[in-house]
Structure 1
Amino acid sequence: MTCRVCGAENGEPHFGGISCKACAAFFRRFVLSRKLKIVCTCKEKNHKSYPCRQCRMLKCMAIGMTRIKVQPMREKNVIKVPTPKFMSTLSLLSCNIIPRSCFNITKTVESWPEIDKKRKDLYGENTYELNFSELSNLAKTDTNLLWNLGEMIFPEVKILNADEKEAIICNFFPRWIIMECAIDYSTNYDYHSQLLKGDGLDRMLVKFYGSSMPDEKRMSDEDILKTFKQYWIHLYLVICEPFFQKKYDKVECIALFLLILFDDAYTNISEKSAQLCRNLRKVVLRELKGYHTDNDFTEMRFLNVISTLTSLERGEQDLQEEVLICGLNNVSLHEDFKAIVQMKKL
């Protein structure tokens, strides 16, 4: 067959018309080109020259070649990382041999798989599919699960009254949210890196916030990104990435969990209860120090763990601001969640 565009031999069916391979390749390149406009240049050329790109394209279309039959370009050498279904937890982290002197940390490590199971039952099989509103609805129950673990490890805290317990939980949970994001970032690093490189983060944020707003009051996609993306970029780059670089193991993360759970920086608990929290933190720090010493970790590693507490506090401040902005932009969040995040502290 003859190419119906240029008259060359060896014409074959391409994109709905009969053309040679050269004209088919031209048509495909033209369709996939990012140039929005071309003009005829035949008058500027020698009369013996081939037709210009515009005229050649019109010939292609005249013989029946259509754009929709051209396969879109595919990215080369891109390995797609599947979206995790459930946020990674402490159970997935490794650790060295824990000395017997670390009794409370060991007990927490051993109890964590059961907590994971209960939290998975609470959040469902695919945490990544939940929007902000749905996550906020589950926060109160989640705090109780984590507090019950703390009570099991340190039964002494049962002497706290209901208001003091509530104050401690409200101080703890926002920092725990930030820390859990950092753990998930560390254990699913390839997935989160891919989110940041492409438009994955934008798509995730539009769904996360947009589906948490009433339809009639929903912000535009552009406004959602303009308002909320800055918080996630800060979380990834300032908190999660340094956390990942420090390569904390399971014992160190358990220690951080207990340290933020029994923080004594409150104005609304008694001095006796604050002293109890300080004593429990001393126990955790002593056991962490013993773990580091037994495994020949440097003094700097111990200091790095402690400094992470300050990083989590900064993340908590960003979360408080974000929740306030959510209220101004019709993002529906459970009242219990807002009360936990926005409780006034020292």
Structure 2
Amino acid sequence: MCLICGAPEGEPHFGGICCRACAAFFRRYFHSKKVSKKCTCKERTIKSHPCRKCRVEKCLKIGMTPEKIQGGRDRNTMDHLQMIPSGSCSPSSPPSLLTARIISRATSNLEFAYSNWKQFNRMRREVGGITYDMNIYDLTSLTKIDIELTWNMVISMFPSTRKLEESDKAALLRNFHMKFWMIVPIFDCIENPEFYENTKEEDHKNMMVEFYDGSFEKGKELTKKEIVRIFEPYWGSFYTKTVPPIVGLNLEKEELMAVLWLLFFDNGFINISSECLEMCRNIRKMILRELKNYQTDRNYDEMRFFDTVETLDIIEKGEQKFMEELLVCEMHNVRIHDDFKAILKENKY
């Protein structure tokens, strides 16, 4: 919804999420020569918008920036283009488009994606009661909640996915769910670098024991020493081969969102229809284009684009290792919720 007035038609505008009416107000405000110095909210009716001063302050607070407002579109004048200093071209020659200020390339979907991801995590904590001391059975019990919240995030980001058949929708969500288990701890390490850097080997062992302890079948529990011996190779692989190369890229939140959605709209699966495959292919093209635009606007090295896309392979290799870990869980009587088992079974076969 619009973060300014609460209207349901919120979209990415100028760096924030708002309706078209509030976006138009924001554009008019900065194109206008009027300056609102005083709050007049007390003089207005209850149902009206806040005064210009308060409304524009709210726009700025949600991330909207005047720098993202394009100039006028009058085709008969070039006055809105910001030219290079006078004297750099002869008076007789007309201004070249090469001298004009370059408008930022389209990256609105990636900008919108991060606020969507934050809302997803907030809802996951509130609805699922996520805590750091949950074991593997507790977390797999949230499978249905995770899938429902994921789909809400998908249709909010990409409304065209509402047209998909139920079979395609279910297949995309099942295909993504194992990758989701890779993404969450990786993003946690990126968003909490101090915690990640200060976590020692002994801390990892304690986290591992807590993750499995309490999830074994009754009478078939493993000791803490046995848990470490059996599962340490998988955790060690994740925190030495999967996490470090991705964290080391210092990806910004928009780049992380590109990785997230490229993983979701994987067009390499065989359990989706040709129509769904085509939609995935088109959405991936759009995401890759916006990722490239985002990095170009920030003057990143050309290799950063390829390094970012390469994280998909790193995560998929981590997913394969995670599948092996889940098979080991079955061998050692670790309880996993039936909803999660159903997804695991489909991915195995």
Q: Sort the TM-score into its range (normalised by shorter chain).
A: 0.5 to 0.7
Tell me the residue number matched to 1:137: 141
Contact 1:171-1:345 at 8 Å conserved across structures: no
Identity %: 32
Partner of 1:216: helix, strand, or coil?
coil
- How far residue 323 of structure 1 moved from its aligned partner, in angstroms, is 1.1
Change (3 A) 1:162 1:310: same
1:149 aligns with 2:153: yes
Name the structure 1 match of 2:118: 113
Write the distance in 2 (CA, Å) between the matches of 1:342 and 1:319. 14
- Judged with a 3 Å threshold, the aligned counterparts in structure 2 of structure 1 residues 251 and 324 are, in CA distance, closer, same or farther, namely same
Is 1:316 paired with 2:319?
A: yes
Aligned partner of residue 282 in structure 1, secondary structure: helix
SS in 1 for 2:222: coil
Quickly say closer, same or farther: Cα 1:337–1:301, change in 2 above 3 A: same
Residue type of the alignment partner of 2:261: L
| Contact kept in structure 1, 2:136 and 2:336, CA below 8 Å | yes
| Structure 1: gaps spanning 5 or more residues | 1-93
- Whichever of the two has the greater Rg, that structure is 1
Deviations 1:225-269 (A, max 9, x none): 111111111000101111111101100011111111111121111
Structure 1 Cα separation of the partners of residues 232 and 272 of structure 2: 36
* Contact 1:132–1:212 under 8 Å retained in 2: yes
Q: Secondary structure at the match of 1:127?
A: coil
1: CA distance between counterparts of 2:181 and 2:151? 14
Q: How many residues align?
A: 250
Q: Deviations over 1:57-90 (max 9, x none)?
A: xxxxxxxxxxxxxxxxxxxxxxxxxxxxxxxxxx
Contact 2:113 2:254 in 1 (8 A): no
Moved over 4 A (4+): 96-100
Compare relative contact order (CA 8 Å, sep 6+) and give the higher one, 1 or 2: 1
How far has the Cα of 1:345 moved from its partner?
Answer: 7.6
Partner of 2:185 in structure 1? 181
Counterpart residue number, 1:235 = 238
Q: 1:341 & 1:260 partners in 2: Cα distance?
A: 17
| 1:305, distance to aligned residue in structure 2 (A) | 0.8
Distance in 2 separating the partners of 1:180 and 1:267: 25
Q: Is the 8 A contact 2:133 2:210 kept in 1?
A: no
Write out aligned runs for 1:1-346 (5 A).
99=104, 101-124=106-129, 127-197=131-201, 199-344=202-347
Paired residues of 1:259 and 1:281 also in contact (CA < 8 A): yes
Indicate if the aligned counterparts of 2:105 and 2:294 stay in contact, CA closer than 8 A: no
**What secondary structure does 1:263 align onto?**
coil
Shift of the alpha carbon at 1:100? 6.0
- TM-score (normalizing by structure 1): 0.68
Inter-partner Cα distance in structure 2 for 1:345 and 1:256? 24
**2:120 partner amino acid:** I
SS of 1:101 mapped into structure 2:
coil
Distance across 2 between alignment mates of 1:299 and 1:320: 34
* Counterpart amino acid of residue 290 in structure 2: E
* 2:209 and 2:227 in contact (8 A); partners too: yes
Which one-letter code corresponds to 2:224 in the other structure? D
Unaligned runs of 5+ in 2: 1-62, 69-103
Q: C-alpha separation between the residues in 2 aligned to 1:200 and 1:103?
A: 39
Q: In 2, Cα distance between the equivalents of 1:158 and 1:241?
A: 36
Distance apart, 1:190 and its partner CA: 3.4
